[in-house]
């Protein structure tokens, strides 16, 4: 069933499972909202802002296990985090169980994240052609060996996994994959309710997510097309999931987490950000990124940030003009001037309207 059709009455036969979970954010029926890992977006700045605005758990973008072993600085830098971001997971991918286990150990030794997450969902050709990411949904025996090997290597750090429902509509293997994952000692399973061939298009199949959640004892986290307009309470009650994971709808909109929490708790949407708040977030985001990447130099940091900065500036009059100027920024000083001028312009327009 498509997510936006989720409007039937509550299913009172839903199973209630007591699972032996090592992750305290599921304790006592808590229903965590995860920020989905998103390469190119879920950097240290964005994760911090989402955490501040209500995300319960955040996950790094995926990193190649081999690159971790090689000591690739860029890759290591992308998974660093601050204490304020906890609980924080680091997501890794690869195709060789031993390499993944070794990379997991290195990350835990150096950064001590709250969990290590395994990626079995990436559809990109450069990943699947190496039998990694979603390709492992066609090779469940290697998938199982990767899970078992990492769990064994990390006796003190929980391991979690994220899958798609299958390679294509002819090979939906979420249930089989889920069983293998659970049996190998993985602590939670996040399911993106699309197949690899769907990419990011079409409806996420929440019926499959539900079937897996009904079958497994570990917490299942539902993912796919969640946005503020959906019936979020219905998702919780109808699909047997223990938490939700939000991806694209959160890009540029960390306030979505407060909104969804408010909807879960009261049935009412949360407050929407003012333009002032949006622009203040741009500044905070750039400050966090500047501090974290200060060894790289201004040009490179701006290069990393520009595309991400513009995502915050949308949905209000004058936003396009600000985005245009942002894409041509040459220094942090220019960014500060731009934000100050934009704020003044917004306030002036508001005064003129009043």
Angle, helices 332-353/319-326, rounded to nearest 10 degrees: 170
* Number of C-beta neighbours around residue 261 at 10 A: 18
C-alpha to C-alpha distances, 87 to 25, 50, 103, 282, nearest whole angstrom: 8, 12, 20, 24
Q: Catalytic annotation on 330?
A: no
The nearer residue to ligand FMN, 187 or 223, going by C-beta atoms, is 223
Please report how close the Cβ of residue 223 comes to ligand FMN at its closest, in angstroms.
Answer: 5
The binding site for ligand FMN (CB under 6 A) comprises 36-41, 61-62, 91, 119, 121-122, 162, 192, 200, 223-226, 246-249
Please report how close the Cβ of residue 354 comes to ligand FMN at its closest, in angstroms.
Answer: 37
Q: Is-contact 307 290, C-beta < 8 A?
A: no
Please report how close the Cβ of residue 352 comes to ligand FMN at its closest, in angstroms.
Answer: 38
The nearer residue to ligand FMN, 219 or 346, going by C-beta atoms, is 219
Report the C-alpha gap between 296 and 231 in whole angstroms: 43
The nearer residue to ligand FMN, 144 or 222, going by C-beta atoms, is 222
Please report how close the Cβ of residue 100 comes to ligand FMN at its closest, in angstroms.
Answer: 15
The nearer residue to ligand FMN, 186 or 279, going by C-beta atoms, is 186
Please report how close the Cβ of residue 251 comes to ligand FMN at its closest, in angstroms.
Answer: 8
Tell me whether residue 115 is exposed, middle or buried, using C-beta atoms within 10 angstroms of its C-beta: 0 to 12, 13 to 18, 19 or more: buried
Cis ω before 87 (30° cut-off from 0): yes
Please report how close the Cβ of residue 347 comes to ligand FMN at its closest, in angstroms.
Answer: 33
The nearer residue to ligand FMN, 122 or 153, going by C-beta atoms, is 122
What are the CB-based long-range contacts (under 8 Å, 24+) for 302-311? 302/329, 302/330, 302/331, 302/332, 302/335, 304/43, 305/45, 307/40, 308/40, 308/41, 308/43, 308/45, 308/46, 309/282, 309/285, 309/335, 310/252, 311/41, 311/251, 311/252
Looking at 50, 122, 147, 157, which residue is catalytic? 122
DSSP 93-142: E-S-HHHHHHHHHHHHHHH--SEEEEEE----HHHHTTT-GGGGGG-HHH
Q: What residues have CB less than 8 Å from 107, skipping those under 6 apart?
A: 68, 79, 90, 92, 113, 116
The nearer residue to ligand FMN, 50 or 246, going by C-beta atoms, is 246
Q: Cβ-closest residue to ligand FMN?
A: 247
Q: What is the DSSP letter of 230?
A: S
Catalytic residue set: 122
């Amino acid at each position: 069933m498509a997510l936006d059709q989720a409007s039937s009455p509550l299913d009172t036969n839903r199973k209630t499972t007591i699972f032996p979970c090592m992750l305290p954010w599921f304790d006592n029926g808590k229903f965590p909202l995860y920020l989905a890992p998103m390469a190119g977006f879920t950097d240290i700045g964005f994760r911090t802002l989402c955490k501040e605005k209500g995300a319960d758990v955040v996950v790094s973008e995926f990193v190649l296990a081999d690159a971790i072993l090689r000591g690739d600085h860029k890759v290591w830098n992308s998974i660093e985090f601050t204490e304020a971001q906890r609980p924080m997971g680091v997501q890794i991918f690869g195709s060789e169980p031993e390499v993944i286990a070794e990379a997991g150990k290195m990350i835990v030794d150096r950064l001590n994240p709250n969990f290590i997450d395994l990626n079995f969902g990436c559809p990109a050709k450069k990943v699947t052609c190496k039998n990694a990411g979603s390709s492992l949904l066609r090779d469940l025996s290697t998938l199982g060996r990767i899970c078992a090997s990492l769990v064994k290597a990390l006796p003190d750090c929980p391991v979690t996994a994220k899958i798609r429902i299958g390679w294509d509509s002819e090979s939906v293997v979420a249930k089989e994959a889920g069983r293998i994952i659970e049996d190998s000692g993985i602590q939670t399973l996040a399911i993106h309710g699309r197949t690899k061939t769907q990419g990011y298009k079409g409806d996420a199949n929440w019926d499959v997510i539900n079937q897996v959640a009904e079958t497994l004892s570990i917490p299942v986290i539902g993912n796919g097309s969640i946005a503020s307009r959906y019936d979020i309470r219905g998702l919780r009650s109808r699909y047997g999931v223990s938490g939700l994971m939000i991806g694209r709808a959160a890009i540029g909109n960390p306030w979505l987490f407060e909104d969804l929490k408010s909807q879960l708790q009261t049935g009412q949407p949360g407050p929407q950000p003012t333009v002032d708040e949006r622009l203040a977030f741009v500044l905070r985001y750039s400050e966090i990124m500047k501090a974290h990447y200060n060894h790289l130099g201004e040009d490179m940091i701006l290069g990393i940030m520009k595309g991400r900065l513009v995502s915050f500036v949308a949905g209000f009059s004058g936003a396009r003009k600000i985005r245009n100027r942002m894409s041509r920024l040459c220094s942090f000083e220019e960014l500060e001037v731009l934000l100050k001028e934009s704020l003044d312009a917004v306030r002036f327009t508001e005064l003129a309207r009043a």
